[in-house]
Every structure is written in structure tokens, then in C-alpha cells.
Amino acid sequence: MQEEGVAKGPTAKSECSKKRRRPKARLSVIKVSAVGEVGTKTYVEMLTGMQEDPALSGVGSNIVRTRRAGEGALLLNVKKDADVRELLAPLRSKLGGKATVTAMEPMVTVECRDLDQDATPDQVARAMLKQHQVDVSSSAVRFRRGRDLGTTVAVFQVPERCVDGIETSNRLRVGWSLGPSDSRRKSPKNPARAPPFPSSDAIFGTVCEPVFAVTFCPREFPFTEIRATIALKNRNET
């Protein structure tokens, strides 16, 4: 029993509550915008026609919710594991010139550190496609100076659905790179415990395996119904 006059101390927060949690995954969205001035009835007819069309049965099985945006566009929420880009072609074929169909997919910024300073955007894009089966446009790869001399950091965006696979392997091989930590190793105080310094051939043969740092960049989402906690990018396919 607690004594009278003794203030109860503050409850300590658990360590788990202090950890930063990743924002909840957001669904990809297909936006259907009518061409010209079209009323509500046209959107209802579009949705009804899509639902009754046997050719769009595969599309319908990957849609979890339909709703209207504030400006009148029709929004289709796609299942988490579905590739939104594969659903665009049948929808565009069905709607024809009645509406424009665009895909909006949650994107995550990825930093690939400790790359050689001579690495090119094309090398990074090819490495991502070969090792992680993620298609990254070379024109979207940006570089900034690395922490160590002679290194650089590649920054690009990938769909959020691909992040789990990237985090699992957590490595990317891009060309050949010198090992900066080996070439600038400090002499230990006790020479007897000094590890053997590798030969120049061994240093040159080292393949750089940089670590991915996945960061979530807040960016305004065009629809207020969805909270902007991750970077989003409109991807219009022609």
C-alpha cells in the first residue's frame, strides 16, 4: 500500500516505444480522369462497365476499394502485392478516349553508400536490375560526395513494394572499388598484434559492397484522404 504524502514517480517508458517505427505501407492508386466536362453519371457508367467487362476480371480482383476524389476523378486502390503498372494497359484499352488512366505508386528513397567515385548512373541502374530485379531509370540516379575520400553516394527512388527485398540482401556490387579503410589503416600501438597488411593486388581485387540506407521522405500527396508519410511519385506511362 502506498504511503500518504509520497508522490508517485513517473512511469518509465519502455525501450520499444522509443524506437522509430516505419510509416504504415500505403496502397498504390489508379486514377481515372474523364476527358472534358463529364458529370457524375458518366463515372458511374464507367465503373459499372469496368465491373461487368470479362476482360477486366483480372483488374477487378486486384482492386480493394473504389472512391471519388475531390476534383471528380475516380480512384482505385490496388492490392499491396499487385503491380499497378500491369493494370494500366487493360484499363486504357477499355476506356479508350473517354478518360485518362494514370498510376500513382508509393516511392521510397534509397541511398547506396561507399560507391567508387567513378561509378555512373547506368552502372547503378544495371546493378539494381540484375541483383535486385528492380527497374531504376539511370536518369533518376543522383550522386553526392561520400564520407570517405574517393567514394560517392548514389541516391534514387524505388517502389515501396520492392523495399523488403532490398533490405534483405542489403548489398549492391557496382564495378570495382578500392578498399579505403585498408589503404589508410593506422599503425597499432602494439606491433605484435598488428594484422597482416594485404598486398596491393588484394586491395585492388576487393569488390565494394555498400550498405543500403532506406529513408522515408515526407512529400505532399495530391489527395488529402491519405496521410503523407512516405515519398510519392506520379508515374505516367505512355
**Tens digits of residue pLDDT in 175-216:** 765 322 222 223 334 434 333 333 333 233 333 344 444 444
Task: Please tell me the predicted confidence (pLDDT) of residue 226.
Answer: 32
The residue written with cell numbers 476523378 in the block is 73
Task: Please tell me the predicted confidence (pLDDT) of residue 4.
Answer: 53
Chain segment 102-111, per-residue pLDDT in tens: 877 778 888 8
Chain segment 90-102, per-residue pLDDT in tens: 888 777 777 788 8
Mean pLDDT for the chain overall? 65
- Enumerate the domain spans of the chain: 29-104, 107-181+223-233
Cell output for 47: 465503373
Task: Please tell me the predicted confidence (pLDDT) of residue 220.
Answer: 37
Cell output for 128: 539494381
Statement: the pTM of the whole predicted model exceeds 0.85: no
Task: Please tell me the predicted confidence (pLDDT) of residue 209.
Answer: 40
Q: In degrees rounded to 5, what are phi and psi of residue 4? A: -70, 145
- Asked if domains 29-104 and 107-181+223-233 share a fold, the reply is yes
CATH of segment(s) 29-104: 3.30.70
List the one residue out of 96, 130, 137, 122 whose CA is nearest residue 235.
Answer: 137
Amino acid residing at 75: L
Is the Cβ–Cβ distance between 78 and 30 less than 8 Å? yes
Task: Please tell me the predicted confidence (pLDDT) of residue 122.
Answer: 92
Residue 164 confidence (pLDDT) above 80: no
Domain 107-181+223-233 has CATH 3.30.70.980: no
List the one residue out of 47, 29, 28 whose CA is nearest residue 98.
Answer: 47
Residue 37 confidence (pLDDT) above 60: no
Most trustworthy range by pLDDT among 39-48, 72-81, 216-225: 72-81
Cell output for 126: 544495371
Q: Kind and range of the H or E element at 77? A: strand 74-78
3 state DSSP class of 157: strand
Chain segment 50-66, per-residue pLDDT in tens: 777 777 777 878 888 88
Over residues 15-22, mean pLDDT: 51
Question: Residue ranges of the alpha helices (H) in the chain?
Answer: 15-18, 40-52, 57-60, 88-95, 121-132, 163-169, 180-183, 200-204
Percent of the chain with pLDDT over 90: 2
Provide DSSP, 38-71.
--HHHHHHHHHHHHH-GGGHHHHTTEEEEEE-TT
Task: Please tell me the predicted confidence (pLDDT) of residue 176.
Answer: 62
Chain segment 110-148, per-residue pLDDT in tens: 888 888 888 899 998 998 888 888 888 889 899 988 888
